Structure 1
Amino acid sequence: MSPLRRLLLALCLPAMLLPPAVPFPAPSTDWAACRDLSQRLSRLLGTMKESHRVLHGVHLGGEEDSEGDCAPRIRCSDACDPSTLDMNNTHCLQRILQGLQHYRAVLGSDIFASRPQPELKAVLEGLLGLVQVPVHSCQPPPTPPTASWARPLLQHDALERLRSFTAVMSRVFTHSASAR
């Protein structure tokens, strides 16, 4: 064996025997706990009564589009379908985290000043603590103070959107918890 080959082998052999270096351990999401909390959130939302009966079945449209990519909805392009989740769930979890942050802000806004939702906020905080994925900050434009006459309608709309978001999020967590 040539001296050059021996030198290369001597230099490379220790590196080949070491386990691959992981610069930062990837945080792990507790899928079962996320599933349980998302189901609890869904149950809470299902038991909520409308503050005004006339609002039942009312849907506002168009406003969510003004938020662009910050919109708190899970789209087909967010890779939250079961086949994609099994391979890579990062993008889906990022979208879920953005939605959770959005709804936490909405529940803490002046829209819910007269009708606070401590149970919903507590479950959202629990989910925010469990979803472990780096997310790019997305700041929708600030909203002006809400007139008191509009609050019941905006509360209804926010809760309807949160119900829809929670339904999809719960399916994601249920699938991922059972797949592990």
Structure 2
Amino acid sequence: MAPLRRLLLCLCLPLLLPSPAAPAPAPGPRTDWVACRSLSRELSRLVATLKEPHRVLEETQLSEEDPKNWPPRIRCSDACDPSTLDTNNTRCLQRILQGLQHYRDLLGSDIFTARRLPRLEATLDQLLGLVQQEHGRPPRHSLAPSETWAHPLLQRMALQRLQSFVAIMSRVFTHSASAR
């Protein structure tokens, strides 16, 4: 019986003793909220100042029937609300990173071949770089070529959605920069 008691004591003793302090994880790169706020505001300003080159499209409301093809959006489930951002912003930043990468890929696609937007692309690249520092690079998706006749419509839809995405993203960065 003594060997069995000794075995149990050896197995249970580590559970009763305090565990040694685990080494603190090395701090990784942190999100520069103030810089992100500034760049998101600039991005919002740039998108808002873009003029529609095809006047007939100015009053056109475009919608896509298939929700599977919708670009990344910031949803309630992404935890981008102020109370969650103060405690854990990882999921929100990952969604923002996914959206930024999507719109960057879109601006570099054949849809915008005839209408390059270098200042918008540069600002988007800077913001993408800041968010990527902490959360890595999301996978890039190549976009299927589209018909040339559809480019103005696709540009309009992409820029409208980018404007909506940037408005919400800017609110996230504004709150987070103010809270720090």
Q: TM-score, normalised by structure 1?
A: 0.81
TM-fit CA distance, 1:133: 3.4
Q: Tell whether the 8 Å contact from 1:73 to 1:165 is kept in structure 2 after alignment.
A: yes
Q: Which residue of 2 aligns with 1:36?
A: 38
Q: Which residue of 1 aligns with 2:54?
A: 52
Once residues 166 and 48 of structure 2 are traced to their aligned partners in structure 1, the CA distance between those partners, rounded to angstroms, is 11
Q: Which residue of 2 aligns with 1:85?
A: 85
Aligned length: 164
Amino acid at match of 1:113: T
TM-fit CA distance, 1:27: 2.1
- Compared CA separation, residues 138 and 78, structure 1 to 2 (3 A): farther
1:25 pairs, out of 24, 27, 36, with 27
The unaligned stretches of length 5 or more in structure 2 are: 1-12
| Structure-to-structure mapping, 1:28-177, within 5 angstroms | 28-62=30-64, 65-67=67-69, 71-131=71-131, 132-134=133-135, 137=138, 143-177=143-177
Once residues 92 and 162 of structure 1 are traced to their aligned partners in structure 2, the CA distance between those partners, rounded to angstroms, is 17
- Compared CA separation, residues 72 and 64, structure 1 to 2 (3 A): farther
Q: Please identify the structure whose Cα radius of gyration is greater.
A: 2
- Compared CA separation, residues 135 and 95, structure 1 to 2 (3 A): farther
Identity of aligned pairs, percent? 61
Deviation string 1:34-77 (CA, Å, 9 cap, x unpaired) is: 00000000111111100111111323223672247xx3210110
The unaligned stretches of length 5 or more in structure 1 are: 1-7
Q: Tell whether the 8 Å contact from 2:36 to 2:173 is kept in structure 1 after alignment.
A: yes
TM-fit CA distance, 1:159: 0.3
